[in-house]
Amino acid sequence: MPPILQRLQQATKMMSRRKILLLVLGCSTLSLLIHQGAQLSWYPKLFPLSCPPLQDSPPRPKHMTVAFLKTHKTAGTTVQNILFRFAERHNLTVALPHPSCEHQFCYPRNFSAHFVHPATRPPHVLASHLRFDRAELQRLMPPGTVYVTILREPAAMFESLFSYYNQYCPAFRRVPNASLEAFLRAPEAYYRAGEHFAMFAHNTLAYDLGGDNERSPRDDAAYLAGLIRQVEEVFSLVMIAEYFDESLVLLRRLLAWDLDDVLYARLNARAASSRLAAIPATLARAARTWNALDAGLYDHFNATFWRRVARAGRACVEREARELREARERLLRRCFGDDPVLRPAAQIRTKQLQPWQPSRKVDIMGYDLPSGRAGPATEACLKLAMPEVQYSSYLLRKQKRRGGVRLRPEPVLDNPPPRPIRALPRGHLGH
């Protein structure tokens, strides 16, 4: 049988006759608008035949249980929105924080299942900020849950942390004129280990992953190796923020999702006036030196990311990432007009889309809906650009109504004792 017919035969096992007809007509160039419940399909659920599934590999159902460790200032809010929308379309339960934790799971405390609102248990999806605790998450999430996270280049991430948390982190508030250069010239002059929110000023990735952010790989290389090993034992995919679209391609392949399941709008982005246009090389080196544990984590998982891309077929991943970008641009134009641009919060008329502002010195941008629109399409566009705080509150209200009763919150433990990183044996390894 010719190869093209073999590929078509594989496709028929997964696609309806309608979608096969679209393939014959050249579906890779079509942009569909199909309303399915609250979902808009802007892109055909059929991928280029240049990237077919492995031969003799039966179609997999979409994976429905996902725990995303949302690290800080790594494009995690955009990933969270993807997961929230997927969960809502498929009527899945999303784990959400207890009201006393606000919209995070009582971060920076070690995660506890007690921090989860009882109306959102047992969950299928978890995607809000927390400090990783393997045992507590496995106690909460069902067997078979896929764990994923995302990292960002440490110098760029630290610049974002310094800007975003400048009014909250004592180490940053001490710096004259809020100068990143001054801080990195002598970080020990401003930093105090153990202070509230000190983790935002030193090895934040390591802290979010449950590690000891005060350890230095220069003094203890074995600690970094052990932390990497623990991450590899739990997380099936470590995405890289600098290669966001390629990461989403790997994510959708891991979970057997459709490409339109990972379409997105950029969220929680700072205005150009609130960030450095480019980080000077000297500052970047200083940031990586100060955050050496984060740098070691990033360098390792950046390398493993590209090895994973190579295994998937780099040309295939790059083509799918390009298709994703093209579909995303069409989606943004349909939702937000012919010239979809991020706007300052003061210019966003739709209250549900106004992003939270961390301080008067930092402008967080967002999208706004064109006036005069209504209906299911508008609702889908609203969710696409909805900031974390509003979407979390909406999902909590919706899930409490679905439960049918007003549940009394479980008690939250005050000041739980710190849990040290435990040495874990090598185990199985699951964008």
Assigned token pair, 234: 């739990």
Report the C-alpha dihedral over residues 69, 71, 74, 80, rounded to 10 degrees. Answer: 40
Beta-carbon neighbour count of residue 272 at 10 Å? 11
Phi/psi region, residue 404 (left: phi>0; alpha: psi -120 to 50; beta: rest), is left
pLDDT band at 424 (very low <50, low <70, confident <90, very high): very low
Digit-coded pLDDT (tens) for 198-242: 999 999 999 999 999 999 988 888 999 999 999 999 999 999 999
Q: Is pLDDT of 182 > 90?
A: yes
| Spatial contact of 191 and 171, defined as CB atoms under 8 Å apart | yes
* The pair of three-digit structure tokens given for residue 55, joined into one six-digit string: 């031969």
User: What's the pLDDT score for residue 59?
Assistant: 78
Is residue 417 predicted with pLDDT exceeding 90?
no
Question: What was the pLDDT predicted at 175?
Answer: 97
* Region of poorest pLDDT, from 34-38, 262-266, 393-397, 425-429: 425-429
* Domain boundaries of the chain, sorted by first residue: 64-260+274-334
Is 423's pLDDT higher than 60?
A: no
Q: What's the pLDDT at 324?
A: 96
Q: What is the predicted pLDDT for the residue at 127?
A: 98
Q: Report yes or no: 227 and 297 within 8 Å, Cβ to Cβ.
A: yes
| Cα–Cα distance, 73 to 106 (Å, whole number) | 18
Distance CA 83, CA 412 (A): 26
pLDDT digits (tens, 9 = 90+) for 50-90: 465 555 556 789 999 999 999 999 999 999 999 999 999 99
- What topology does CATH give the domain 64-260+274-334? Rossmann fold (3.40.50)
Q: What is the 3-state secondary structure (H, E, C) of the chain?
A: CCHHHHHHHHHHCCCCHHHHHHHHCCHHHCCCCEEECCEEECCCCCCCCCCCCCCCCCCCCCCCCEEEECCCCCCHHHHHHHHHHHHHHCCCCEECECHHHCCCCCCCCECCHHHECHHHCCCCEECCCCECCHHHHHHHCCCCCEEEEEECCHHHHHHHHHHHCCCCCHHHHCCHHHCHHHHHHCHHHCCCCCCCCHHHHCCHHHHHCCCCCCCCCCCCHHHHHHHHHHHHHHCCEEEEHHHHHHHHHHHHHHHCCCHHHHCCCCCCCECHHHCCCCCCHHHHHHHHHHCHHHHHHHHHHHHHHHHHHHHHCHHHHHHHHHHHHHHHHHHHHHHHCCCCCCEEHHHCCCHHHCCCCCECCECEEECCCCCCCCCHHHHHHHHHCCCHHHHHHHHHHHHHHHHCCCCCCCCCCCCCCCCCCCCCCCCCCCC
Higher model confidence: residue 24 or residue 341? 341
Burial class (CB in 10 A: 0-12, 13-18, 19+), 128: buried
Q: Are 164 and 224 in contact (CB under 8 A)?
A: no
Provide the pLDDT confidence category of residue 161 given band limits of 50, 70 and 90.
very high
Mean pLDDT taken over the chain: 84
Q: What is the reported pTM?
A: 0.83
Residue 90, token pair as written in the block: 């498929």
**Contact at 8 Å (CB) between 236 and 430?**
yes
> Residue 370: pLDDT above 80?
yes
Which percentage of the chain shows pLDDT scores above 70?
79
pLDDT band with cut points at 50, 70 and 90 for residue 404: low
> What's the pLDDT score for residue 17?
40
Taking the chain, what is the end-to-end CA distance rounded to the nearest angstrom? 35
- Segment 375-397 mean pLDDT: 92
Digit-coded pLDDT (tens) for 83-118: 999 999 999 999 999 999 989 999 999 999 999 999
Amino acid of residue 414: D
- Residue 359 pLDDT class (50, 70, 90 cuts): confident
Instruction: Collect all residues with Cβ–Cβ distance below 8 Å to 181 and sequence separation of at least 6.
Output: 283
Between 126 and 371, residue with greater pLDDT: 126
- Report yes or no: 240 and 302 within 8 Å, Cβ to Cβ: yes
Mean pLDDT of 306-327: 95
What region does 384 belong to: left with phi over 0, alpha with psi -120 to 50, or beta? alpha
Q: Which two tokens stand for residue 271?
A: 């205005």
What is the distance between the alpha carbons of residues 188 and 373, in angstroms, rounded to a whole number?
54
> At how many degrees (to 10) do helices 292-312 and 154-164 cross?
120
Q: Tell whether the model's pLDDT for residue 261 goes beyond 60.
A: yes
Place of tokens 């999702």: 257
State residue 371's pLDDT score.
Answer: 82
